[in-house]
């Protein structure tokens, strides 16, 4: 949620801020702003409701008016996903006081009390944001102490909630200060200066050396030096880690959108993730531990991947698995102890509800296993164990290759557990894994090869107010993910239903021309699903059938067909989801939607 970039060094700061912010726009994009120290004019702040491109225009206008180029070497920038206060110029970050400019990711929970107290001390508030309270509080303590570190330390003692702050003190024109709690922030060291950022893509073009700031650490960033201060006084120069992503991986490589590029990367993501999980010690972990319960906790698409994990583990290993929506986990007061396992699935590893669930599971003594895509993320670091999905950076807000990678891990866990329980022989387990590594990626490629046909089909949805996805068994779980993908990027209302459940109420919504996407990948369930398809078809539904051998499907049951390659039925989610993602993608494109940055959403949901 929201993106932060800061740079101080020998180069001009504006290109660095714009470039960093543009690569972070997937984290939030309803407003943007920058604050920087211009060598002639002093501290300047440009911010506005809208995209980063509009701040570029603002800066160009400023230069035109002044009849000169901005000359600045130190600054901070922010791209916002509004939480407190609607997207507006005034609510945009940075928030600037007389002495301090500040950008913030996260939520300050006690902002109302802080505002009240600061108002009593004479501060005037210009915005509706929680962030302005932090800027004023730090300003207040800076005026008392004249020392940035002491001011930040005093302020964070009073602030409750989550934050990553990038701060400029106006009388220290080449310094950036940073601190974080429950919201990620990295420091990075480059040849021509140093950086702060909320995420790696922002600095990837400039350096591959970074340090993940720990909770409560305060950093001072000068052109030549980064110093980190721990509570209690000790300070040190961080030891940097090397970023292993390539710049190309974080760029579109000729695709019109990240989403399309990321769907094309699914075969590779599945292969790489399979190697990652097979080379982990997961088998030994399960062999050494007998669990009373296995629980999977996640949000959104990651939770849908968890549902596949439950289905397959129960099917192959005959072990019951619970799946929880992370934001509901704590309210269910889960019964957990030292003989229980909680698996957290998260692409970003920074989803606030998933982190809260992880902490609750640990508090109750459960074993925790993270399935994450970002090494060094909060979930990755705090869980007892980690399996890394190797999807690579996922930039488009709609998750695609991360889902394929997450279900890859789910399949391996289910196969390994089944083998350990003697429900699969080593030969059978190996055959399944072999198929996952070779046939599945090839089958996904085949589906992607049908993208032109799927693009033409997408035209069928353009004017529809509502779409239904139906299926049985695994297809019912896939329907939920297909429906989520469609609604989040096309803004068409859609619902996923167990095919047999429609007639218990929802079928009343089927009228002439209502699109129903029927998933029928399991031969054993085909006849029954077919009956349900006929039920909606006779009520006027326009049916799009997604199944293997679609060419042989009775033409009277469907209006359109998407054929899936022949594959072990258990692996159908890999191919069917690629088809549904492409359908959602092309529908969004045809409707003129901002595919990679759908409205009201952000890539990483770091607020509860």
Q: According to the binding rule CB under 6 A, does residue 386 interact with ligand F6R?
A: no
For 135, phi and psi rounded to 5 degrees? -60, -45
Choice from 398, 424, 547, 582 touching ligand F6R (CB under 6 A): 398
Q: At closest approach, how far in Å is the CB of 474 from ligand F6R? A: 19
> Per the residue annotation, which of 47, 310, 451, 603 is the catalytic one?
603
Choice from 189, 273, 301, 494 touching ligand F6R (CB under 6 A): 301
Specify the stretch interacting with ligand F6R by CB under 6 A; choose among 38-46, 298-306, 456-464, 536-544.
Answer: 298-306
What the block records as the tokens of 186 is 């990295």
CA distance 343 to 173: 46
CA distance 582 to 416: 31
Q: According to the binding rule CB under 6 A, does residue 300 interact with ligand F6R?
A: yes
Q: At closest approach, how far in Å is the CB of 299 from ligand F6R? A: 4
Binding map of ligand F6R across residues 414-443, x = CB under 6 A, - = no contact = ------------------------------
Q: According to the binding rule CB under 6 A, does residue 399 interact with ligand F6R?
A: yes
Binding map of ligand F6R across residues 196-225, x = CB under 6 A, - = no contact = ------------------------------
What the block records as the tokens of 320 is 């019951």
Q: Which is nearer to ligand F6R, 403 or 497 (CB)?
A: 403
- The CA distances from residue 84 to 107, 131, 192, 395, 592, in Å, are 8, 8, 36, 25, 29
Q: According to the binding rule CB under 6 A, does residue 182 interact with ligand F6R?
A: no
Q: According to the binding rule CB under 6 A, does residue 378 interact with ligand F6R?
A: no
How do strand 493-498 and strand 515-519 relate by DSSP bridges? unpaired
What the block records as the tokens of 451 is 């993208």
Specify the stretch interacting with ligand F6R by CB under 6 A; choose among 153-161, 340-348, 462-470, 540-548.
Answer: 340-348
> Per the residue annotation, which of 2, 96, 547, 558 is the catalytic one?
2
With contact defined as beta carbons under 8 Å apart, do 394 and 250 qualify? no
Specify the stretch interacting with ligand F6R by CB under 6 A; choose among 344-352, 363-371, 457-465, 541-549.
Answer: 344-352
Specify the stretch interacting with ligand F6R by CB under 6 A; choose among 150-158, 261-269, 297-305, 495-503.
Answer: 297-305
Specify the stretch interacting with ligand F6R by CB under 6 A; choose among 109-117, 144-152, 299-307, 577-585.
Answer: 299-307
Choice from 351, 521, 529, 532 touching ligand F6R (CB under 6 A): 351
Q: According to the binding rule CB under 6 A, does residue 488 interact with ligand F6R?
A: yes
Q: According to the binding rule CB under 6 A, does residue 5 interact with ligand F6R?
A: no
Q: At closest approach, how far in Å is the CB of 531 from ligand F6R? A: 32
Specify the stretch interacting with ligand F6R by CB under 6 A; choose among 199-207, 313-321, 346-354, 432-440.
Answer: 346-354
Name the DSSP class of 389: -
Specify the stretch interacting with ligand F6R by CB under 6 A; choose among 271-279, 341-349, 491-499, 561-569.
Answer: 341-349
With contact defined as beta carbons under 8 Å apart, do 5 and 16 qualify? yes
Binding map of ligand F6R across residues 75-104, x = CB under 6 A, - = no contact = ------------------------------
How do strand 340-346 and strand 235-236 relate by DSSP bridges? unpaired
Choice from 127, 198, 346, 378 touching ligand F6R (CB under 6 A): 346
Tokens 């619970």 label which residue? 322
Burial of 54 (0-12, 13-18, 19+ CB in 10 A): middle
Q: At closest approach, how far in Å is the CB of 259 from ligand F6R? A: 9
Choice from 168, 259, 302, 595 touching ligand F6R (CB under 6 A): 302
Choice from 198, 273, 295, 354 touching ligand F6R (CB under 6 A): 354
Ranges assigned E (strand) in 358-472: 367-372, 385-388, 466-471
The secondary element (H helix, E strand) that includes residue 576 is helix 572-590
Q: Which is nearer to ligand F6R, 94 or 482 (CB)?
A: 482
Query: Which residue has its beta carbon closest to ligand F6R?
Result: 300
Helix axes 401-420, 426-437, angle to 10 degrees: 170
Q: According to the binding rule CB under 6 A, does residue 393 interact with ligand F6R?
A: no
Cross-sheet strand order for the sheet of 321-325: 321-325, 293-298, 340-346, 367-372, 385-388
Q: According to the binding rule CB under 6 A, does residue 604 interact with ligand F6R?
A: yes
3-state secondary structure string, 292-322? CEEEEEECHHHHHHHHHHHHHHHHHHCCCEE
Nearest-10 Cα torsion for 145, 149, 150, 154: 120
Task: Count other Cβ atoms within 10 Å, centred on residue 534.
Answer: 15
Ordered DSSP codes for 209-241? EEEEPPTT-EEEE-SS-EEEE-TTS-EEPPPPE
Task: Count other Cβ atoms within 10 Å, centred on residue 191.
Answer: 10
Active-site residue flag, 2: yes
Q: According to the binding rule CB under 6 A, does residue 348 interact with ligand F6R?
A: yes
Q: According to the binding rule CB under 6 A, does residue 347 interact with ligand F6R?
A: yes
Helix axes 266-278, 439-448, angle to 10 degrees: 160
Choice from 263, 383, 605, 607 touching ligand F6R (CB under 6 A): 605
What SS3 class is residue 76? strand
Q: According to the binding rule CB under 6 A, does residue 581 interact with ligand F6R?
A: no
CA distance 248 to 245: 8
Choice from 299, 444, 520, 564 touching ligand F6R (CB under 6 A): 299
Considering CB under 6 A, how many residues would be counted as binding ligand F6R? Answer: 15
Task: Count other Cβ atoms within 10 Å, centred on residue 362.
Answer: 16
Active-site residue flag, 143: no
Q: Which is nearer to ligand F6R, 30 or 394 (CB)?
A: 394
Q: Where are the alpha helices (DSSP H) in 47-147?
A: 52-66, 111-120, 131-145
Q: At closest approach, how far in Å is the CB of 164 from ligand F6R? A: 16
With contact defined as beta carbons under 8 Å apart, do 378 and 162 qualify? no
Classify residue 428 as left (phi > 0), alpha (psi -120 to 50) or beta: alpha
What the block records as the tokens of 582 is 């492409």
- The residues that are catalytic are 2, 603
Question: What is the binding site for ligand F6R (CB under 6 A)?
Answer: 299-302, 346-348, 351, 354, 398-399, 484, 488, 604-605
């Amino acid at each position: 949620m929201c993106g932060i970039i800061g740079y101080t060094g020998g180069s001009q700061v504006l290109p660095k801020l714009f470039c960093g912010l543009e690569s972070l726009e997937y984290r939030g994009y309803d407003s943007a702003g920058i604050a920087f120290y211009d060598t002639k004019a002093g501290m300047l702040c440009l911010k506005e409701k809208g995209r980063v491109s509009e701040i570029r225009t603002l800066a160009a206008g400023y230069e035109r008016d002044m009849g000169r180029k901005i000359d600045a070497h130190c600054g901070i920038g922010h791209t916002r996903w509004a939480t407190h206060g609607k997207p507006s110029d005034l609510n945009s970050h940075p928030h600037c006081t007389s002495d301090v400019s500040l950008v913030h990711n996260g939520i300050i929970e006690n902002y109302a009390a802080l505002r009240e107290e600061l108002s009593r001390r004479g501060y005037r508030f210009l915005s509706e944001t929680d962030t302005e309270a932090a800027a004023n509080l730090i300003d207040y303590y800076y005026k008392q102490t004249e020392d940035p570190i002491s001011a930040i330390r005093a302020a964070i003692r009073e602030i409750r909630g989550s934050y990553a702050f990038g701060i400029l003190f106006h009388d220290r024109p080449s310094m950036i200060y940073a601190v974080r709690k429950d919201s990620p922030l990295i420091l990075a060291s480059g040849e021509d200066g140093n950086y702060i950022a909320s995420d790696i893509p922002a600095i990837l073009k400039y350096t591959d050396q970074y340090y993940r700031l720990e909770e409560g650490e305060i950093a001072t960033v000068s052109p030549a030096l980064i110093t980190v201060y721990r509570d209690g006084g000790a300070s040190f120069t961080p030891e940097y880690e090397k970023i292993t992503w390539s710049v190309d991986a974080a760029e579109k490589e000729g695709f019109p959108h990240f989403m399309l590029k990321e769907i094309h990367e699914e075969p590779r993501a599945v292969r790489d993730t399979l190697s990652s999980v097979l080379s982990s010690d997961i088998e030994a972990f399960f062999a050494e531990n007998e669990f009373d319960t296995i629980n999977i906790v996640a949000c959104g698409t990651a939770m849908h991947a968890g549902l596949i994990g439950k289905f397959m583990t129960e099917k192959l290993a005959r072990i019951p698995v619970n799946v929880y929506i992370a934001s509901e986990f704590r309210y269910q007061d889960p019964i957990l102890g030292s003989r229980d396992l909680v698996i957290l699935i998260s692409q970003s590893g920074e989803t606030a509800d998933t982190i809260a669930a992880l902490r609750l599971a640990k508090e109750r003594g459960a074993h925790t296993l993270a399935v994450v895509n970002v090494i060094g993320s909060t979930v990755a670091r705090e869980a007892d164990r980690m399996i890394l999905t190797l999807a690579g950076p996922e930039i488009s807000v709609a998750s695609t290759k991360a889902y394929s990678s997450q279900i890859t891990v789910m399949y391996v866990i289910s196969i390994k557990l089944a083998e350990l329980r003697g429900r699969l022989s080593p030969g059978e387990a190996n055959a399944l894994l072999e198929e996952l590594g070779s046939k599945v990626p090839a089958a996904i490629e085949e589906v992607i090869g049908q993208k032109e046909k799927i693009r033409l089909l997408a035209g069928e949805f353009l004017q529809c107010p509502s779409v239904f996805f139906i299926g049985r068994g695994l297809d019912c779980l896939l329907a939920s993910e297909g429906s989520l993908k469609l609604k989040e990027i096309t803004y068409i209302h859609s619902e996923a239903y167990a095919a047999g459940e429609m007639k218990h109420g929802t079928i009343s919504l089927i009228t002439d021309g209502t699109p129903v996407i029927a998933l029928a990948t399991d031969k054993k369930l085909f006849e029954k699903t077919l009956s349900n398809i006929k039920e909606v078809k006779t009520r006027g539904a326009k049916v799009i059938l997604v199944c293997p051998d679609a060419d042989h499907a009775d033409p009277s049951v469907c209006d359109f067909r998407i054929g899936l390659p022949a594959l072990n039925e258990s692996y159908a989610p890999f191919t069917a989801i690629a088809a549904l993602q492409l359908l959602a993608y092309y529908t969004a494109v045809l409707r003129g939607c901002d595919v990679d940055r759908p409205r009201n959403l952000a890539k990483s949901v770091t607020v509860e």
